């Protein structure tokens, strides 16, 4: 094995379960760890048996870092606003997320735990990232209001922990949840022909269900559709339950002609309102 990279076999319980502990400091700031501490709340989740130790070269942004071996790592289950680069424009909150992660990784040593898929289409490693202390950084970024939940099957191992972390930040109106750039938009504000950048929140009321070759469509209007892949439909409640309900849908808005659509991969991206 190459220098600087070590592998550890975590002998968890025979049922292959692991525990995550949530604790708060005196200022109310929460952190997540696989090590128990006084007053910590235990959250039980399914876990893999392996974690891998790496050294960090630098942080690109709040959800992407580079290992000393040159490989890029994308944190599973979250998205942070973009920072200015040759390829992207800065988004509100992007520098705050990047700087927070840089501070956390000052010691430049992490443990990576993989999920069902280990790489994305850009050949980046996909991982749950832990500090030597056991702190679970994916969840901590959400709890601080520095990231948005973006669960993508089949990488759902810590989904309950990540959902709870975002709910905490949203309830407390922390970070992005208090920024005007990330407030939900009413459908009447949809501008036909406009390309919307970045992660969005839209208030919608689906009226009927349609179908295409790959998708089941929650049709809000002739100009706005929520698309759910047929292969993922069994992860959602019966889609008829969404009809005529006030909802908030979260994700990236795409456009084809004058029709805008949002592809949703997990029920956490559709919130009742």
Please identify every residue annotated as catalytic.
74, 82, 124
The single-letter DSSP state of residue 258 is T
3-state secondary structure of 264: coil
Instruction: Report which secondary-structure segment, H or E, holds 45.
Output: strand 41-46
Closest CA to 210 of 237, 248, 239, 186: 239
3-state secondary structure of 148: strand
172: tokens are 């407390």
C-beta of residue 238 within 8 angstroms of C-beta of residue 200: no
Question: Cα(162)–Cα(145) distance, rounded to whole angstroms?
Answer: 12
Question: Cα(82)–Cα(145) distance, rounded to whole angstroms?
Answer: 15
226: tokens are 């929520």
Question: Cα(271)–Cα(236) distance, rounded to whole angstroms?
Answer: 12
Question: Cα(169)–Cα(185) distance, rounded to whole angstroms?
Answer: 20
């Amino acid at each position: 094995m190459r220098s600087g990279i070590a592998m550890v076999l975590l002998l968890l319980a025979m049922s292959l379960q692991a525990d995550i502990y949530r604790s708060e400091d005196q200022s109310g700031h929460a952190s997540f760890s696989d090590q128990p501490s006084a007053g910590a709340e235990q959250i039980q989740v399914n876990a893999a048996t392996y974690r891998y130790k790496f050294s960090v070269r630098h942080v690109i942004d709040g959800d992407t870092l580079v290992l000393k071996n040159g490989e890029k790592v994308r944190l599973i289950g979250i998205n942070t606003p973009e920072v200015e680069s040759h390829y992207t424009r800065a988004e509100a909150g992007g520098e705050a997320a990047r700087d927070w992660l840089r501070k956390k990784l000052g010691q430049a040593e992490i443990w990576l735990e993989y999920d069902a898929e280990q790489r994305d289409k850009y050949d980046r490693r996909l991982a749950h990232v832990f500090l030597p202390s056991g702190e679970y950084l994916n969840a901590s970024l959400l709890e601080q209001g520095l990231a948005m939940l973006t669960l993508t099957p089949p990488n759902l191992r810590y989904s309950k922990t990540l959902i709870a972390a975002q709910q905490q930040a949203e309830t407390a109106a922390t970070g992005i949840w208090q920024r005007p750039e990330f407030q939900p938009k009413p459908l009447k504000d949809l501008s036909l022909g406009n390309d919307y950048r970045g992660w969005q929140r839209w208030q919608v009321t689906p009226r009927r269900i349609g179908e295409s070759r790959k998708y089941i469509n929650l049709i809000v209007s002739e100009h706005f559709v929520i698309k759910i892949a047929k292969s993922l439909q069994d992860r959602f409640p019966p889609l008829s339950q969404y009809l005529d309900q006030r909802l908030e849908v979260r994700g990236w808005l795409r456009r084809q002609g004058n029709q805008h659509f949002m592809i949703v991969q997990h029920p956490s991206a559709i919130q009742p309102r």
